[in-house]
Amino acid sequence: MAVLELRDVHLTYRTAQGPVPAVRGVDLSVDGGEVLGLAGESGCGKSSLVACVLRLQPRSATVTGQVLVGGENVQTMSWRRLRAVRWGEAAVVFQGALHSLNPIQRIGRQLVEPILLHDSAATPRTAADKVAGLLAQVGLPETHADSYPHQLSGGQKQRVMIALALTCDPQVLIADEPTTALDVMVQAQVLELLVGIARQRDMGVVIISHDLSVLATTCHRVAVMYAGRVVELGPAQELFEHARHPYVRALARAFPTIGEARSRYAPAGLPGDPPFPDRLPGGCPFHPRCADAVDECSSVDVRLRPAGPGRVAACVHVGAGVG
Amino acid sequence: MSLPGENDTGSGPVLEVEDLSVTFRGRGGLAARALDGVNLAIGAAEIVAVVGESGCGKTTLGRSILGLVRPTSGTIRFRGEPLSYAARALKRYRRDVQLVLQDPTGALNPRHSVYEAVAEGPRVHRLGDEPGRVARSLAQAGLRPPERFLLRYPHELSGGQRQRVVIAGALAVEPKVVVADEPVSSLDASVRGEILALLLRLREQLGLSLLVVTHDLGLAWNIADRIVVMYLGRVVEQGSTEQVLSHPQHPYTRALLSVVPEIEHIPSVVLSGEAPDPSRIPTGCRFHPRCPALADGTAAAAGIADDCRGRELGVLPATGDHLAACHLRPPPLHPPAALRESAG
């Protein structure tokens, strides 16, 4: 069953220079126990989309469409209900969150606080027991409840952040770039942890990253965003190895396969820069950077099309027998 | 691939690091040995990647090479001359050896235009023809036509363009060596390849030598001629990129490779724990507390488990040969004293 469902979600910021559409019609769903990867470059709308899920968008933003957490629309629910849904139903580990731990409070105390606030039946004792269990689940010794953040390494702090997100037993966990500040080895440990938690708790997990190769090996399915839309969605490994959208192919190639002769001394890039959301090119927004662009691309704004079992892609070449 | 006007002959290294140690005195009197005997050589127009986890000493190595950290012992030689820390000599040296940092947004002053950012080096070194130099460097860094960028400010540029401005700033003083600390890790995936291609092009066109400090093995595969793998202040494996990445000898290198997401055929060896503390370097082989070969009994079967725990390994020489500092590996490692003699 889908624990998180987005239906035709749009998010537009009002600015002095006019409206800036950051998210332009996204449909996504995440089942319990599923790990979904969300990839894309800076400015593609990933973080704005996350804001929609907890209704954290600024007042200058207009959101349309439906954001359903456990079947309830987050965007229209009462404030009272929203307060319960945040953390209780859906929790986010924000990018760079390592630094958001309070430096002068012990870890245990920071973990107990949301439990006491959200669960009226909790007592300090039951909350402390729960914290001990959570620390064990994220692979930290119970004694770290008495540590201060500066006594922990980056990887350990990220584990604390994940434990913090789990304190109120949400059905949905969103991790925004959970591994960018971490080392290779620690990165692998944290990703293993997230996948394990999704399975054990039958929770929907969304991992956001700009590194497609990381998502390919960790997630069940991956969605790639460009200019405010999902341009390709499919089973992670298939999408990484045989992407249908030229943009996704370029992203996949950006991380070479070590040992493969054709990428030696030949780093693969993608010329040009992603478009500004307020100055999107006409037609397919990717066409100015696309090596496979044809005349049609500058005029036709292609939406997602079926691209094989469980796969969709937004490219004119898809379904036309090419690509 | 030597430059016209380059006065050194032969294929001697441009930059050499010999038995370099850097010790930081910590709180409570605990000394952290960030670098603990490192040998390294970079040839003309060579790209060397230094890889390892946080805390392995790779950043300290880069900073020592730039003369920003004074070594506790050991020498750094540029074209055969030992690095002098006298102000004037150091200033001259820093024209030859430049730095490119990880985060271009942090490296650029938000209130300086692109012109100002690139002109700073030539101005400090009184190189003359500032506008010409700035324009040339921007073009070399792929910002064409340069006039379009001169008056822009960092916030008006994309991440990739900012990194190109930082690279142009380094090129403006015509360095021989550039030390790049994680040059693409803060950039978007699509920009990454473009910047790496630029570094390769600069090596070809300008004969630039590059020392790239990174934890990204894919980057090394993309551009590096040689790889140096560091662990807790020592080089544990080195060799040509093909040798080290296709036939890794050291269990640590193998573990690093196994967690690279693209490599499917190796079962991933996720080492428990993080890189240990340089103020408490383990006895024997410094990797032994995390070594999978010791944990799974491979070392015991070879009868060297006691060596791993108790006998220290020699320091690897700065040669181009594929070598690993591991008790399990066949190339016999000489004791450090003998090495110094043969190197001298």
Closest Cβ–Cβ partner in B160, B222, B256 for A184: B256
| % of chain A with per-residue pLDDT over 90 | 70
- Distance of alpha carbon A109 from alpha carbon B222, whole angstroms: 46
How far A294 CA lies from chain B's nearest CA (Å)?
21
Of B178, B218, B216, whose CA–CA distance to B198 is shortest?
B178
List the single residue in A with minimal CA-CA distance to B156: A276
How much is the pLDDT for B279?
84
How far A186 CA lies from chain B's nearest CA (Å)?
7
Interface test with B, best of A212, A258, A290 (most B CBs within 10 A): A258
Mind listing the pLDDT tens digit for each residue in A136-158?
989 888 889 999 998 888 888 88
How far B259 CA lies from chain A's nearest CA (Å)?
6
Q: Contact B191/A269, CB-based, under 8 Å?
A: yes
pLDDT exceeds 70 at position B7: no
Of A180 and B325, the structure prediction assigns the larger pLDDT to B325
SS3 for A60? Answer: coil
Q: Does A31 touch chain B (CB under 8 A)?
A: no
Q: Does A211 touch chain B (CB under 8 A)?
A: yes
- Distance of alpha carbon A262 from alpha carbon A279, whole angstroms: 36
Neighbours of B249 (CB within 10 A): 23
**Contacts (Cβ under 8 Å, ≥6 apart) of B52:** B58, B215, B229, B230, B231, B256, B275
Region A266-272: mean pLDDT is 88
Of A42 and A265, the structure prediction assigns the larger pLDDT to A265
- Distance of alpha carbon B119 from alpha carbon B123, whole angstroms: 6
Q: Contact A256/B268, CB-based, under 8 Å?
A: no
List the single residue in A with minimal CA-CA distance to B186: A180
Q: Does A263 touch chain B (CB under 8 A)?
A: yes
Q: What is the mean pLDDT of chain B?
A: 87
Interface test with A, best of B51, B190, B225 (most A CBs within 10 A): B190
Residues B41, B16 contacting (CB under 8 angstroms): yes
List the single residue in A with minimal CA-CA distance to B252: A185
pLDDT exceeds 90 at position A19: yes
Helix (H) or strand (E) holding B74: strand B73-78
- Distance of alpha carbon B269 from alpha carbon B132, whole angstroms: 52
Q: Contact A258/B260, CB-based, under 8 Å?
A: yes
Interface A–B counts its CB contacts (< 8 A) at 117
Which residue type sits at B62?
Answer: G
The ipTM, to two decimals, is 0.81
pLDDT exceeds 50 at position B335: no
Interface test with A, best of B214, B217, B262 (most A CBs within 10 A): B262
- Distance of alpha carbon B107 from alpha carbon A124, whole angstroms: 47
**Contacts (Cβ under 8 Å, ≥6 apart) of A134:** A111, A163, A166, A167
Residues A66, A73 contacting (CB under 8 angstroms): yes
- Structure tokens that stand for A179 in this block: 């591994």
DSSP string, A156-215: HHHHHHHHHHHTT--SEEEEESTTTTS-HHHHHHHHHHHHHHHHHHT-EEEEEES-HHHH
How far B76 CA lies from chain A's nearest CA (Å)?
28
How far A220 CA lies from chain B's nearest CA (Å)?
14
- Distance of alpha carbon A156 from alpha carbon A154, whole angstroms: 5
Mind listing the pLDDT tens digit for each residue in B96-150?
999 998 888 889 999 999 999 999 999 999 999 999 999 999 999 999 999 999 9
Q: Contact A254/B200, CB-based, under 8 Å?
A: no
Which residue type sits at B120?
Answer: E
Q: Sign of torsion, CA A217 A218 A224 A228?
A: negative
pLDDT exceeds 50 at position A78: yes
**Cβ contacts (< 8 Å) between A154 and chain B: which residues?**
54, 274
Strands (DSSP E) along chain A, which ranges? 2-15, 18-31, 35-39, 61-69, 72-73, 90-93, 172-176, 204-209, 221-226, 229-235, 305-306, 312-313
Q: Which is it for strands B226-231 and B47-51: parallel, antiparallel or unpaired?
A: parallel
pLDDT exceeds 80 at position B276: no
CA trace torsion B224, B227, B231, B233 (10° rounding): -90
